[in-house]
Structure 1
Amino acid sequence: MTNSDESSSGGLHQILTELSLPLSEELITLALTHRSFAYESGGLPTNERLEFLGDSVIGLVITEELYQRFPDLDESRLSPLRSGVVSTRALADVARQLHLGESLRLGKGEEVTGGRDKSSILADALEALFGAIYVEHGLDGAKRAIVSMMSSAIDDSLSRGVMLDGKTALQELLASRGLGGPEYEIAESGPDHAKEFQATAIVSGSRISIGRGRSKREAEQEAARLAYEVLIESKQGPNESPAK
């Protein structure tokens, strides 16, 4: 790692130490090793196995946390809330707060195309980090880390109104204003192993918002949530397109 990488890694070490969840430098390095770096370095291990593990651990911990925090919500309301908390956007935001991008081991191609701030790569790295914590400290340790680091993501989802499925909320809002249903334009980019989808929400012919995610569904949900927020603020039908 570079001096900058070591400094960022040191900050991560400090956070983990404060949570009484120290990780070895070797395990942290593995969690931050992107496939592109491993390929260019002759086939080193990547963070994908830890990411696979961390994805499941996050899902379990967040599901239990929401179940305990909101005893009056049924499955139809808990499920979309969970989707918002563990979305690519939410995970990437947490990764940015931890400055994980500064410590990522990326190949030259990803480096020059802004991979250190690419949401899909950051989200994957955070999942890998939680996977590493699970390997080292078990479910109790992973739960402590996830609840601590993801608490703001839960609060953010609540404040943004993600108590309903985003697409359903947008559909109902448009119906209440006598407007037709939204349409979604889908574009995809990236290699097969790291596809990123972009969805543009279109209402009455106007492009309202753009959502991104690691699946078509996630991108559409993000676009719908953003469009909902735009239209709630405007308190009227779409005019000029704010999508960028």
Structure 2
Amino acid sequence: MPASHYRFGDFKLLPAERLLFRRGSEVALTARAFELLVAFAERAGQLVARDDLFKRVWAGVVVEDNNLAVQVGVLRKLLGAEAITTIPGFGYRFALPVLDVAEGDVLPLPRAGRSNLPRRLPALIGRTAELDEAAGLLRSHPAVTLCGGPGVGKTRLAQALAHRLAGEHADGAWWVDLTLLRDDEPVAAALARVLGLAEASATLATLAERLAPLSMLLVLDNAEHRAADVAEAVAALVRDTGRIGLLVTSQVPLHVPG
């Protein structure tokens, strides 16, 4: 069944409707840039030859070679410089994790081994003991909270932990910045959005059901903004899934058994 739309990062791409959304807001693209993005989404992670892209985006039209580079530049500006990798002499590869959603699917599963963790991080200096201790706790407990005041380095430690442990989870490690929660947005919807799932219909129950077969690490950063709601979500995922690890950063304790 062909995909009705694609999810990558904060974006939702609907090829048939010629629409692109970012966090629910429509993003304007030229027709060429949109068609190029669809071509990349359809073959995410694969090498796409320059000739194939010219035939797809400029079918029957003779254009200068730099036209493709210009449109790739437009997409990189929108999606991030690392979203599209240049393969010299051949073409391009779309590097973002993409979920393709067939018509009728409500909560598709994330593709194994994918992650939205930042690729480059500054060195974590002088915190090896903390890192080792926290890693040990995460390996032996389903949920761990890094709790402390503002500016003590909770987020940076969590990033290092996620990178260290991502390879131990077949379905990757996923970062959820809770400061981006919209007003009164359910935590389940925010988790679904990051994972590329159908956020509008996501509840804690449906989310847990879909995640139950998976092995992944979820990192919930800045939980103090919605501490009670996050605690409820963590408790539900701990209770209803077996191989989901949860790492939370918060300025206040969540009081969730883990």
**Normalising to structure 1: TM-score of the pair?**
0.31
| Bigger proportion of residues as helix | 1
Higher strand fraction (1 or 2)? 2
